[in-house]
Chain A
Amino acid sequence: MVVEKTIGFEMKNLFLPTILGVVCFSNFLFPFNPQTNANLKSSNLEKENDHVAKPAIRTTQAETVRKASEDLRLGKEGMRVGAAKLLGKYPSLQSSVTLVGALDDSSALVRRAAMVSLAEHSSNGHPLYEKSLVEKVFSKLGDSDVEVRREVSSMIPKLISGLMRGGMEITEINGRKVYRSVPARLRTDLFELTLRSFLDEDAIVRQNLLKYHPYLRVDLPASILIRLLGDDDSGVMLAALDRVSANADHPDVLAEIGRLSKNPSKGIRLKVIDVARDSSRHHAGYRSILRSMTKDEDLEVTSMAAVELARFGERIPKEVISDIKKYLLSSRGMNSQVTTILYAVSAMGEDGMEVYLSLTEHSSSRMRAIAWQRYLSMNKTLDQSSTWMSALKDRDKGVRDAVIVSLRGRIKDLNADEVGELVASEFADVRIFAGQSMVLAEEEILADYGFELLIDENPLVRSTTLRAFGMRRPPGWIAIMSKSLLDKDYDIQRAAMDALLGDRELGVEALLKYLEKNPTARISSLAKSELYRLGVQP
């Protein structure tokens, strides 16, 4: 490349006087030809650019793949590795065939690189589909190199569509062509290989086989499952636990799960709870395992086992409920496990209420919010403010909001002390709630506290109370609304206008008076259109 460029440059230099001469002459003949001027400019630019290295010209994809395929077949080991890696960037049948061919290379490095590139083709949306090629790839589950086996085992889901294709074959019997269907299942030797691979010496291969064998429609024999449930590697053990359901009624599997329920690893024990819950429909023994796990030394395990039993409708002993309470109280906020337990406590009915009540004191605001919501929804004594008043003193607005949503519309007949407590709250949202409760409050209470809320510092408290006044219409309400129309706050004006519109006689009259005096006020145009809708000409 470099040599060519040097020659080109020297050639140009050699003929430069002649070229320039021709250019000058043609310029002399055609002085106003823009095309010629442009050519001259570009020629000068080219001359300048010749000093800067030009990027090399890239080959076509077909040429790149052809060259890499050649290198992969004939090059030295390092070159073969490079070619295998490069072919991963060009998904096509040709490069796939070449890469599959390299899976029998004598060098493990080349085989690895080829397998990684085939996986790359799949990831980029070009999986192998030709059955014979896919079978070749899958057969590498028996490769001597562990990396190759790992890569194949993790590729199983991507190989399935090609591997499990059914089809048609033509055989000749006594000179006659016979068409026979080929079933969509693994070739016998590959099936045997899969069974052997469940017990591969590499833990990751074992784990991948456990995860993906259903894709291959290869059942996991109970004897192998039992061996894998006792595997040294926890990853394999967890993957095996996921596969219990198919053999859940096998007595040896049940015994093995019972043994694992005492495994020193908490993760395994939690997984056992999951398995025991799902398998309990196959054998009653799994419920016994769950019951025994409610005595686990770890409170999280105890709680999980207990809530699963509660979901089955079993009554949970007092001491276990106390353990659940202890666990939830000691947890430092919500995580998935805590969330599961927290919601599942509802299944304990009356006993669950006690747990929720204790959690209303939890340090986590999300936990307190859920506990309050659940507690109030299960509680039948909402008419007693002592049940919920403390919730409205919570430091977190999210908790208070959750409680107010649960209370709204469910409480009536608040007495003066209770309303007084709400009105005196430091939180605006609670005072808004107090304003809303004025709708149902006794007249005396409305008179005592309503006016206090009407002069609240928070405009939302004022507008909410004003709306309550509009609904209750206590003596003097027209005057209050008329004055409120003069408020600076639009929400207040709007609440007053809505209230006045609700009374076709006195209210509308007051509104008309206001419009007469304040025809250009902010609320006036809206008030006029609302009056038109009522058939009143302002």
Chain B
Amino acid sequence: MTSPKSPDRLAGGLARREVLLGGLVLGLATGAGARARVAKAGEGATLNAFVSIAPGGEVVIVTPGAEMGQGVANGMPKIVAEELDADWANVKVTLSGYAPDYLSPVNKRQRSANSDGITSYYDALRKVGATARAMLVAAAAQRWSIEPAKITTREGMLLHPDGRTMLRYGDVAAEAAALPVPGTVALKDPSAFRLIGKDFPRKDIAAKVMGSAGFGMDLDLPGLLYAAIVHVPVAGARLLGFNADAATAMPGVHKVVQVDNAVGVIADSYWQAQKAADTIELDVDTVPLMDGDRVRETILAALDAPGEGLLPFPVGFTDGKFDMGASSEEIEAGLAASDATFEAVYEVPYLAHATMEPLCATAKVENGACEIWAPTQAADAIPPDIEQATGIPAASVKVNRTFLGGGFGRKNERDFLVESVKLAAAMPGRPVMMVWSRQEDTRHDYYRPAFAARIRAGLAEDGAIAAMHGRIAGQPLMTTAPFRRPGIADFGMVGELVSSTYPIALRKAEAVEIEAPLRTGYWRSVSASQNGFFFESAIDELAAMQKRDPLEYRRALSIADPRSLAALDLLAEKSGWGKEMKPGRGMGCALTSGWNARCAQAIEVEVTDTTLEVKRIVCTFDCGQMIDPDNVVAQIEGGIVFGLSAALFGKITVKEGVVEQSSFADYPVVLLRSAPAIEVHLIESGAPLGGVGETGVPAVAPALTGAIFAATGKRVRKLPIVDAGFEVAL
């Protein structure tokens, strides 16, 4: 793995020399490209925007994804290497900046979000690898004056049919780069895969344990300055002015700059900048102060009296059309005709992302252009945002990406990138590295909103769900196009509220949006982070209402879905479901089906008086085809810990307009000692590729509250669990 240590190394992910040798670009979307410049034989060459081959045969592959821990700096290049027949041990991976060549042909974007990195690039990356291989084969065929079809490839070698003559990829790379790009290429039969689906050490891990992996703050550039920033602390308030007299006089300080609703200090070192920033007095206008309790009251009131603001939400998408589900009349009739009905209100709080690496970005502005180096999940969205915010034309914005010290959705936002460019604009020609303090990071997040939802359901005699109506209230995540369609509720709010995990005859989902001044955004698993809890809790309560075992009930509901059944059956086996438990112990379960995966979890707890201990989490997981199975396990383990932190303790509160939390000290997360034993069992179902990164999160809260119910008879309907009178050791 190459660390982004120098600007050369960051230039589109390729070292300067390799860039100069090549020049040919193979558009992902079009598969077409111009001829490469001819280089001398044996010198290596860039075959396309993703693949270059060094003279010695080392294959350098660019990942189009943002590496935030989910493993796309391994999985994506591996797909290319598979079809290229590269020697994986001899593959070096580099990170990408933004380039049109790296847009996913599926969603026309380059960003790492929505757990779709692998699914949205899989076909394209295979084609990239196969195309490069075909060009190398064609070059060898010319060299040997034989038919290309007679040549085989293996681990970076071209093999002559005589069984003795061989060429390394590097030997013919320059000739290959000069050949026309084939329009169509044959892909491998998956049964011939040597890399995909098999585990090798991740390419980024060695650098990460040696301390040499380059994150956002690890860049060093000539003339680098540092910046700290303080934002208006009151949600919704505007900055009227500020007093920076003390800051300006402090050692090392170059400039104090207002950036919209914040003030930045640029200094010779980060510490000088931060110390100076701490002395700045902000003059803030008077606004109605946001109070968390009042927001909660508003949300709960909106559930009962939505008034005009009721927004429908599709319960399905078939044949390119939204299925808007049942009408109100149909739902009411369905509920009235049911054998038994159920109704409950559930709540979740605001949540912060709390990535380990606080927000940071480096920018240099010069001659009406800018260059950015940042740990960002976004890519193509950055230049237009910079243009809109600063007037620097999008075409003059160059984006380089470093490793991300966690992302979880926060680093898909561009606020901090815009800030860094505006700060750098105050020091033309000098790169400026802006670093947010942990307090700024915690208090100026794009939060997962607080929500309340009422779930109503009607059961048929056999326990089948005849009707379900879900209504959710809270701040939406997205309010504007292109993320919203007129008259339709926000997917990030309502998605999976009335889930399609199980068949339900009549389904209806709707939302009431409230206004509050906190910024909201995508948080690992997005709508499923709350709706997995709401929906699966309701399923659990429906089971309890019928005095049925919660796993058996889910199994009965899943009877038409072999993947769900397999996940639940394996879960029962691996968790020892139904075993005798001593008093105070209980086990709960949940099943979620987002991202074309199936994730079943069983959680065992022990409750002694009011002390809750999570003993063990067992997960069975089916995401269909896998690229790196061990990394799938790691992602699910991590997703479970992420979901557990939120379920147990996660809560952002606002008092008098100010977010009360400021670091891991008051926004606690699970630590090593509070992490239970976690077992993940993968299921090879043969299903197509599904998403992984977010998929482990949603089942945790409902399985955990189900376990608490099993242990105590107490149903927790409002997160976090510590607010329900349980003490949890940190």
State whether these chains interact: no
Interface residues of A (CB under 8 A from B): none
